[in-house]
C-alpha cells in the first residue's frame, strides 16, 4: 500500500456485497470533486461548488459514454472535515451487485485508483484525524461479535485508550528529559534524592502499564472469543450440556454411547462474551473406525481449547482414564462437572483437590446460569469494572506494553543503585520504553507495519 500522495485519488465500494436498499461508493483525494463534476447530472451548482456537509440528488453517468448508470445521492465532504481529512465524496446509489460496480468502474476509468483494503482509514491516520488505537478500534467495531465488544470498541474509537497511552508517553517523556539532564551534572554533585525521585515517578508509570496489561485477557476474549470444549466419556451428558448452553437442541441426545462421532460447534454470547462451544465424541476405546476418527478430532479440539468442561458420571466411581484425563490439564483450563447425582453420588469435589468442580444434575435441575458464571470466572481472569474502561484489546498493544514495562523496571533498578555509571544505561532504557509506548498510538511506525495492520480491513473502509 502506497503512502497517500497529493496526486492520488482513491475510490471503492464501501458497503458489503449482496442485495440491499442502498450501496455506497466512496471517493477521496484531490480530484474527488473534479470526478464528481464529471459523473453527476443534476441541478446546479456543480458538486465542486457546493457547500461542505450538503447533498445533491441526481443521476450518475459514465463520462465517457454519457450512459446514465443510476439515480443517486451525492454527499460532499471538504478537507479537513472528512473521515480521511481529504476532499471526499460519497455516492449513495441503489443496492445490489451492479449499480455500485458500474459507478466504481466509471470512476476508475475517469482517473481514480481502486483503494486498497483499509486505505481510507489509513489516510485518516496519516492525516492526523485519528491515532493508531482509534484506527484499530474501527476494525474491532466492525468485527465485534457481541454488544459488549462493540461498546468497548466504541470507547476506544472515542480515544479513551489513546488518551491513557498518551498520558503514559508524556510522563515517560518528562522522565527521559530529567534523566538526560542528570548526565550533565559533574561527578559527585548530583544529590541521590534526584534519581530516587525519578524512580518513584517511574513506579507510578509501571503501575499504570501493569493496569493496562491486566485488562488484556478480557479484551482478547471479547475480540477473538473463547473456545470451550465439552469432553468426557460416552453418555455423561455432553450433548445435553451443549443444548442447555446454546438454548436450543443443537446436538442429538441419546442413551446409546457413541451418538456424537464428530465435533459439533455452536456460537453463543454469554454475558457479552462470545464463546465457541464444541461438543465432542466420547472418550473411550471405540469399536469402529468412524468413532475412532471422532475421538481423534476430540483430542485436536482439546489442544486448541481455552477451557475444557469435563463431564463425569458422579453416580459411578471415578475411573482411572477419567482421573488421568483430568490430570493432563492445567487447573486453570478445566472445570469438572459431576453430573447425574439424581442417580446417586459416589464422587464429590473432595475427590478432585485443586480442581474447580460442580455437583449437578443436568437431567433434573440443570444449573445453567451457575455453569455460565463458572465459565466466565475461568476465561475472564480480571473483568473490567465498566464497559467504558479502555482495554488493551490487541496483541500488538500487549507486546509493546510488556517491553515498555521491562524497560521501565530496568530504569528504576539503574537509578536506585545511586551509581553514576548506571545513569547512561538508565537513559537508554527509558528512551526504549518511550519508543514502545509511542509505537502503540502511532509514533515511529514503519510502512511495513502499517501495511500489515490496515490490510486486515475490508476494501472501502
Q: What is the tens place of the pLDDT at every residue in 207-241?
A: 999 999 988 888 888 888 888 888 888 888 888 88
* Cβ pair 88, 26 in contact under 8 A: yes
167 C-beta neighbours (distance < 10 Å), count: 13
Q: Cell digits for 149? A: 465488544
Identify the three-state secondary structure at position 272. Answer: coil
Which of these, 113, 23, 128, 142, lies nearest to 83 by C-alpha position?
Answer: 128
Domains and CATH numbers, the chain: 10-130 (3.30.1360.120), 135-215+391-441 (1.20.120.430), 224-379 (3.40.50.300)
Q: How far is CA 260 from CA 246, 263, 314, 316, in A?
A: 17, 7, 21, 22
pLDDT in tens, 16-48: 888 888 999 999 999 999 999 999 999 999 999
Give DSSP secondary structure letters for 8-69.
Answer: --EEEE-S-SS--SEEEEEEESTTHHHHHHHHEESSSS-GGGSPTT-EEEEEEE-TTT--EE
Q: Where does 293-362 show beta strands of DSSP type E?
A: 307-313, 334-339, 356-359
Average pLDDT, the chain: 85
* Cβ pair 429, 411 in contact under 8 A: yes
* Cβ pair 120, 84 in contact under 8 A: yes
pLDDT in tens, the chain (461 residues): 444 444 699 999 999 888 888 999 999 999 999 999 999 999 999 999 999 999 999 999 999 999 999 999 999 999 999 999 999 999 999 998 899 999 999 999 999 999 999 999 999 999 999 999 999 999 989 888 888 888 888 988 999 899 999 999 999 999 999 888 888 776 566 677 778 899 999 999 999 999 999 888 888 888 888 888 888 888 888 888 888 888 756 544 445 444 444 568 888 888 888 998 888 866 655 455 544 555 566 667 677 788 899 999 999 998 888 888 888 888 888 999 999 999 999 989 999 999 999 999 988 888 999 999 999 888 886 555 555 466 767 888 999 999 999 999 999 999 888 777 888 999 999 999 999 999 999 988 888 888 888 888 888 88
419 DSSP assignment: -
Q: Beta strand pairing status for 307-313 and 226-232?
A: parallel
Which of these, 248, 437, 313, lies nearest to 445 by C-alpha position?
Answer: 437
* Cβ pair 72, 91 in contact under 8 A: yes
Q: Which residues does residue 60 pair with via DSSP β-bridges, in sequence order?
A: 40, 70
Question: HSE on the CB side for 134, CA within 13 Å?
Answer: 19
User: Is the pTM higher than 0.85?
Assistant: no
Say what the alpha-carbon torsion angle 133, 134, 140, 146 is, to the nearest 10 degrees: 110
Q: How far is CA 375 from CA 243, 397, 430, in A?
A: 16, 26, 40
d(CA 15, CA 339): 49
For the chain, the residue count is: 461
* Cβ pair 430, 411 in contact under 8 A: yes
Identify the three-state secondary structure at position 459. Answer: strand
Report, in angstroms and rounded to the nearest whole number, the Rg of the chain calculated over CA atoms.
Answer: 29
Amino acid at each position: 500500500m502506497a503512502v497517500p500522495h497529493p496526486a492520488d485519488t482513491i475510490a471503492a465500494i464501501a458497503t458489503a456485497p449482496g442485495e440491499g436498499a442502498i450501496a455506497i461508493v466512496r471517493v477521496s483525494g484531490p480530484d474527488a470533486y473534479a470526478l464528481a463534476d464529471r459523473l453527476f447530472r443534476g441541478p446546479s451548482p456543480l458538486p465542486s461548488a457546493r457547500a461542505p456537509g450538503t447533498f445533491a440528488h441526481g443521476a450518475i453517468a459514465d463520462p465517457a459514454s454519457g450512459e446514465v448508470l443510476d439515480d443517486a445521492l451525492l454527499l460532499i465532504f471538504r478537507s479537513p472535515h472528512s473521515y480521511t481529512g481529504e476532499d471526499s465524496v460519497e455516492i449513495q446509489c441503489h443496492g445490489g451487485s451492479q449499480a455500485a460496480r458500474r459507478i466504481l468502474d466509471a470512476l476508475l476509468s475517469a482517473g481514480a485508483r481502486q483503494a486498497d483494503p483499509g486505505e481510507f482509514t489509513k489516510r485518516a491516520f496519516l492525516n492526523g484525524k485519528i491515532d493508531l488505537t482509534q484506527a484499530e478500534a474501527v476494525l474491532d467495531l466492525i468485527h465485534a461479535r457481541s454488544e459488549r465488544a462493540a461498546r468497548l470498541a466504541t470507547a476506544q474509537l472515542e480515544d479513551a485508550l489513546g488518551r491513557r497511552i498518551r498520558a503514559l508517553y508524556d510522563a515517560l517523556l518528562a522522565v527521559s528529559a530529567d534523566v538526560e539532564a542528570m548526565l550533565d551534572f559533574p561527578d559527585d554533585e548530583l544529590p541521590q534524592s534526584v534519581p530516587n525521585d525519578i524512580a518513584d515517578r517511574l513506579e507510578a508509570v509501571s503501575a499504570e502499564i501493569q493496569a493496562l496489561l491486566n485488562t488484556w485477557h478480557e479484551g482478547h476474549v471479547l475480540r477473538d472469543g473463547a473456545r470451550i470444549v465439552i469432553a468426557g466419556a460416552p453418555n455423561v451428558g455432553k450433548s445435553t450440556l451443549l443444548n442447555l448452553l446454546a438454548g436450543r437442541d443443537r446436538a442429538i441426545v441419546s442413551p446409546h454411547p457413541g451418538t456424537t462421532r464428530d465435533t459439533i460447534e455452536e456460537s453463543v454470547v454469554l454475558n457479552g462474551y462470545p464463546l465457541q462451544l464444541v461438543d465432542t465424541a466420547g472418550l473411550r476405546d471405540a469399536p469402529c473406525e468412524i468413532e475412532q476418527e471422532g475421538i481423534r478430532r476430540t483430542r485436536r479440539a482439546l489442544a486448541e481449547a481455552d477451557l475444557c468442561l469435563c463431564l463425569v458420571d458422579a453416580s459411578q466411581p471415578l475411573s482411572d482414564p477419567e482421573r488421568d484425563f483430568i490430570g493432563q490439564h492445567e487447573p486453570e483450563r478445566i472445570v469438572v462437572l459431576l453430573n447425574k447425582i439424581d442417580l446417586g453420588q459416589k464422587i464429590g469435589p473432595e475427590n478432585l483437590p485443586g480442581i474447580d468442580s460442580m455437583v449437578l444434575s443436568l437431567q433434573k435441575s440443570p444449573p445453567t446460569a451457575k455453569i455460565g458464571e463458572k465459565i466466565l470466572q475461568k476465561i475472564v481472569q480480571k473483568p473490567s469494572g465498566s464497559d467504558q474502561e479502555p482495554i488493551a484489546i490487541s496483541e500488538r498493544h500487549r507486546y509493546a506494553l510488556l517491553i515498555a514495562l521491562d524497560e521501565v523496571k530496568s530504569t528504576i533498578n539503574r537509578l536506585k543503585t545511586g551509581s553514576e555509571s548506571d545513569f547512561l544505561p538508565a537513559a537508554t532504557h527509558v528512551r526504549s520504553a518511550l519508543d514502545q509506548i509511542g509505537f502503540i498510538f502511532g509514533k515511529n511506525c514503519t510502512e511495513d507495519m502499517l501495511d500489515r495492520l490496515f490490510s486486515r480491513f475490508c476494501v472501502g473502509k
